[in-house]
Amino acid sequence: VERQYEEIEKNPQLIVEAEGRTYDVEAYIKNFQWSDAKFSRNKSIQDMHMTFTEKIGVLDEELKNRYNHFQEKKMSSTFLNKKEGSNYVTQDLMDVLKPEYVDQGDFVETEHLTTLVCIVHKAQTENFLKNYEGFFVAEAAKVVPKSAKQFQIPQDKDGYSIWRVILFKTHAEEFTNNARSQFKISSKTFDFDPESFKNLERDRSKIKTELENAQIKLIQTCQTVFSEVFIILMHLKTLRAFVDSVLRFGLPPAFVLCVVQPGKDKDKKIQDALKKLFAEPGSEGIYGSKDEIDEAEDYFPYVCVSLGVPSTL
């Protein structure tokens, strides 16, 4: 939950909503009280464990659905805005040749004539203007003289500008191939349609709104799921500590549950202090971490249950 929350929110608000109050994580841990409304102590341990599992399953499914919905909208937004910000060679011309840059008559399409859009680097502009009428095709008459026109669009970050050339359809492929091989100039056909541009802008606006709404709902779900999961975690850890203590020290219960928050790199120091405090005289040597006593599990004169907390705590 925390990872997905941080993926969409730089500074996630990790809070816990419990018993009608709002806590930060540390405050909730320090003020923790068992909630009989959520987890009745009259239930058996098995039933309580099943309740924990079912609630976690529901929350996990809810978060997955929200996250998948957000990713779908994000992918749709990426597709509609693909290559935006790249140079004109790779960018979708629909994003560049907007209606405000195109005059009536700029694009000619008839039975015999067509219009090519040429992406010309500033270093090749002079060669392009000198040669486009005759050099690119075997028959110069196949290109409309003086048809080269630069669209009044600023050069891109790499120094490319956009031009149009009108020529006979039968020589469009030859023009394109020679332009690329002789001068590394990219040329392509483009169906200029103001209505299509309006539709694209409308679709982008729509998906932007949908993406923003999906992100808001995902953030809200992350907040809710984090709160509920952390509440379950605290109850589960408390139940684990209680059961282990009963198994270790017997009935009736004669022990105290408390929370210890070690400072950075202070775990070993606290373990040694508690071992010295609770171990039977002369038996300190049988206790320690699994590495210290060469056992499969840690063994201390007290019950210790680790509580995983958010990395921001």
pLDDT digits (tens, 9 = 90+) for 155-186: 999 999 999 999 999 989 989 998 888 888 99
pLDDT of residue 81: 75
CA atoms within 13 A on the CB side of 278: 17
pLDDT digits (tens, 9 = 90+) for 221-278: 999 999 999 999 999 999 999 999 999 888 888 888 888 888 888 888 988 899 889 9
The whole-angstrom separation of Cα 308 and Cα 153 is 56
The vertex-228 CA angle with 224 and 232, nearest 5°, equals 170
pLDDT of residue 214: 95
Best CA proximity match to 33, nearest among 47, 56, 49, 16:
16
Per-residue pLDDT averaged across 45-71, rounded? 94
DSSP-assigned letter for residue 280:
P
Measured from the Cβ of residue 32, the count of other Cβ atoms closer than 10 Å reads 18
pLDDT at residue 84 is higher than 80: no
pLDDT of residue 311: 56
